[in-house]
Structure 1
Amino acid sequence: MILQLTHTILEKELKRVGETELKVTESVRDKARKFVAEYLARLGD
């Protein structure tokens, strides 16, 4: 499930930046971590 969420985040990021090659920077990693943590927190409620 975590892997699927990560792929979803990267797909959204790729759409946002357009046709250029997506580089997984620390910023992208932080966004992915934050999104997954928030999603899992919502599931726990």
Structure 2
Amino acid sequence: MDYDTMREFADSWALLAMAVFFVGVIVFAFRPGSRQAADRAAQIPLKDD
């Protein structure tokens, strides 16, 4: 692959893939029930085993 081909791929499909990944992360973070899971995970370092 030469530079121009890689640049064209990065400008189109890679950008689309990153945008889809970003939207997926946002949906995952704001899904119903995620607050309780995040609160439980935040308390892990504070637990005395």
TM-score of Structure 1 vs Structure 2, range by shorter chain: 0.3 to 0.5
TM-score (norm 1): 0.47
**Higher alpha-carbon Rg:** 2
TM-score (norm 2): 0.43
